[in-house]
Amino acid sequence: MQNVTSWAVAVKNSFIDVWNQFIGFIPEIIAALVVFIIGLYIAKGLGRLIEKILEKINLDRRLDEVHVKDGLEKIGFKTSVSRFFGLLVYWLLVAVFLIIAAEILDLPTISAFIKDVVYYIPNVIVAVAILSIGLIAAGFVQTAVFNAATAAGILAAAILGALARWSIIIFAIMAALIHLRIAPGLIQTFFTGFVGMLALAGGLAFGLGGKDRAKLFIEQITDRYIKK
Q: What is the pLDDT of residues 15-27, one digit of tens each?
A: 666 666 666 667 7
201 falls within a domain: yes
Domain that holds residue 195: 132-228
152 falls within a domain: yes
29 falls within a domain: no
Rounded (10°) CA dihedral 179, 180, 186, 188: -20
- Give CA–CA dist 101/208, Å, rounded: 68
CA distances from 143 to 135, 139, 181 (A): 13, 6, 32
- Give CA–CA dist 189/211, Å, rounded: 31
Q: Are 60 and 82 in contact (CB under 8 A)?
A: yes
85 falls within a domain: no
Kindly report whether the global pTM for this prediction surpasses the value 0.85.
no
173 falls within a domain: yes
- Give CA–CA dist 59/128, Å, rounded: 17
56 falls within a domain: no
| Whole-number pLDDT of residue 200 | 62
Per-residue pLDDT tens over the stretch 42-69: 999 998 998 888 888 877 777 676 566 6
Assign residue 80 a region (left: φ > 0; alpha: ψ between -120 and 50; beta: otherwise): beta
Determine the angle formed by the axes of helices 157-179 and 184-204, rounding to 10 degrees. 170
Q: Are 164 and 142 in contact (CB under 8 A)?
A: yes
Total domains in the chain come to 1
DSSP-assigned letters across all residues of 163-195: HHHHHHHHHHHHHHHHHTTSSHHHHHHHHHHHH
- Give CA–CA dist 168/75, Å, rounded: 15
66 falls within a domain: no
210 falls within a domain: yes
Weakest mean pLDDT among 22-26, 153-157, 213-217: 213-217
